[in-house]
Amino acid sequence: TREQCLNIPHQSCITRDNIQVDVDGLLYIKVMDPYKASYGIEDYLVAAINLAQTTVRSEVGKLRLSETFSERERLNETIVTEIDHASEPWGIKV
């Protein structure tokens, strides 16, 4: 199957130093197991977007505002790893 690009909608997050930041993003996924993607979860696209939003909020909340800029690459890697691990039972790969 081909890779799909999902838009992660704009949301507000609170950093560790209690500053509100607005974030959005893109998530690239690929269905690895069509059976799991069809029968393991009701709608893997919606589930992936919701999981991405939750993970982004959680990870941004662990950082100070200044770290969100300087640690951007590490933040991206952490978010992808977390989403990839959690979505494995759905038959998708991030």
Domain boundaries, the chain: 3-93
Q: What is the pLDDT of residue 50?
A: 97
Which pLDDT tens digit goes with each residue over 24-48? 999 999 999 999 999 999 999 999 9
- Paired strand residues for 30: 3, 93
Average pLDDT over residues 66-77: 92
Which architecture, in CATH terms, is 3-93?
Answer: 2-Layer Sandwich (3.30)
- Identify each DSSP E strand in the chain by its residue range: 3-14, 20-31, 92-93
Q: Which residues 6+ apart lie within 8 Å of 75 measured at CB?
A: 59, 60, 63, 68
